[in-house]
Structure 1
Amino acid sequence: MTQMKHSDVFWFVPNLIGYFRVSLGAVVAFSMYYEYPYVTFICYLASGLLDGADGYYARKLGQCSMFGEVLDMVTDRCTAATLLIYLTQLYKSPLLALAACFLISLDISSHYMQMFAQLMVGKTNHKQMDENTHWALKLFYTDKRIFIPLCFGNEAFYLLLYMDKYLPTYALYISIPLTFVALPLCLIKNAINAVQLYVSACELACLDAAKFNKSKK
């Protein structure tokens, strides 16, 4: 039987989708700064839709990989951070800039610490939940009826804030109400990020305490 090489992992279908999402993220960045809002909208939306496709094909084809999971997570964080940073320039609001700094920091730190904590306890990915997991995280990561709307609503809020600056007046009668509808979903998603950060910190601290106690015996 032919042994798989590490380079073969790079050619997994879900990882190819991930590379395409990275390229879409680059297009999003350039189209924002050169003010092509509709290109930005389409590419950002396409990247979000493909975010679900890579996971689907990873499971369907038996091509789940740690590299693919990290690629997916990093792409999500970088794409959202790019949009949030540009929003601060677009609205020229110190309050929004402060909020963006907080949201970017919370998003990156909570996911990094969650992944690291899960790997340290022997789990294969940051979405793997057990019986002792905080109820909010368990509900979020195991129920797609919760997971998909919250993730979509969070990204939709940022994207709608962006488009509200460019849409013609008649379209704002639709986009602005949608922005307010997406706002609570964004707030809930970031509250879950805060819970994730706290729970992961506790898990790592528990591992540290156990290590120190063992060393003193």
Structure 2
Amino acid sequence: MREEFDALFCNLISAMAKSSKQRTLSVYLYIPNIVGYIRIVLNCIAFALCFSNRRLFSILYFVSFVCDGLDGWFARKFNQVSTFGAVLDMVTDRVSTACLLAILSQFYSPGLVFLFLLALDIASHWLQMYSTFLSGKASHKDVKDSTNWLFKAYYGNRLFMAYCCVASEVIYLILFLLAKKQSESVIDVLADNATKISPLSFLIIFALFGWAIKQAVNVIQMKTAADMCVLYDINRKHRP
């Protein structure tokens, strides 16, 4: 009887482990997550070619960025929203943007500007994700309880957020394509090209506006998330 019970118990554990592996594998193979893997491959190829073929780099980088919108659409369309997918998406975004900003810091002066933007981007999103975890929210985009109208408008309107994000990446890609080997002033390059009557000048002005909004949101997000972490500590200390 004992042997039969042990065998039944082992079979049950084995079945549970197999079922768990199947569920884990199924999440890894979600359509939006596969899109995420494609983005990583595209970015790896793009950065491998960034100094030898700038145009191809820009195309691959921008296609990868466009896929950032597709994975979210697939997740909602096929009900395949997952925490892993959300983390994969954010990490891919932050790493790709960070690499591009690091490259731009070598082309333009002051390079510290791009390193500051890199630090702001990573810090604000990391704090936002961590504060989301502490507050028990399902998504870092859930900012309904925020009192800042710009912050709520940014995450509350997908088109507005998409415009700001695309505008930021477009500015960085334009600077990358315009960069020369010698160190140039980033302000002079943007001003010279923005004042010329051309489609490029219109694109620069249109993108700069969205870029500025996104940086303002990053500052607000970092401060709001930091306040949330502090409030969590205060509430924890006052618990009986």
TM-score when normalising by structure 1: 0.88
User: 93, 108, 112: which is aligned to 2:122?
Assistant: 108
In 2, distance between residues paired with 1:183 and 1:136? 17
User: 13, 33, 45: which is aligned to 2:62?
Assistant: 45
Secondary structure of 1:5's partner? helix
- The residue identity in structure 1 corresponding to 2:35 is I
Is 1:88 paired with 2:105?
A: yes
User: 74, 80, 100: which is aligned to 1:57?
Assistant: 74
How far the C-alpha of 1:13 sits from its partner, in A, is: 0.3
Structure 1: gaps of 5 or more residues: 167-171
- The residue identity in structure 1 corresponding to 2:216 is A
Query: Which 4+ stretches in 1 moved above 6 angstroms?
Result: none
Structure 2: gaps of 5 or more residues: 1-18, 181-195
Aligned partner of 1:178 in structure 2 is 203
In 2, distance between residues paired with 1:110 and 1:191? 11
Aligned partner of 2:177 in structure 1 is 163
Bigger Rg, structure 1 or 2: 2
Secondary structure of 1:32's partner? coil
Secondary structure of 2:238's partner? helix
In 1, distance between residues paired with 2:26 and 2:219? 36
TM-score when normalising by structure 2: 0.80
In 2, distance between residues paired with 1:73 and 1:83? 16
Q: Is the 8 A contact 2:155 2:161 kept in 1?
A: yes
Is 1:13 paired with 2:31?
A: yes
Q: Is the 8 A contact 1:164 1:176 kept in 2?
A: no
In 1, distance between residues paired with 2:144 and 2:69? 23
Is 1:188 paired with 2:202?
A: no
How far the C-alpha of 1:163 sits from its partner, in A, is: 1.4
Aligned partner of 2:163 in structure 1 is 149
Distance 1:28 1:133, change over 3 A: farther
In 2, distance between residues paired with 1:43 and 1:132? 36
Is 1:72 paired with 2:86?
A: no
Aligned partner of 1:207 in structure 2 is 232
In 2, distance between residues paired with 1:140 and 1:132? 12
Aligned partner of 2:137 in structure 1 is 123
How far the C-alpha of 1:82 sits from its partner, in A, is: 1.0
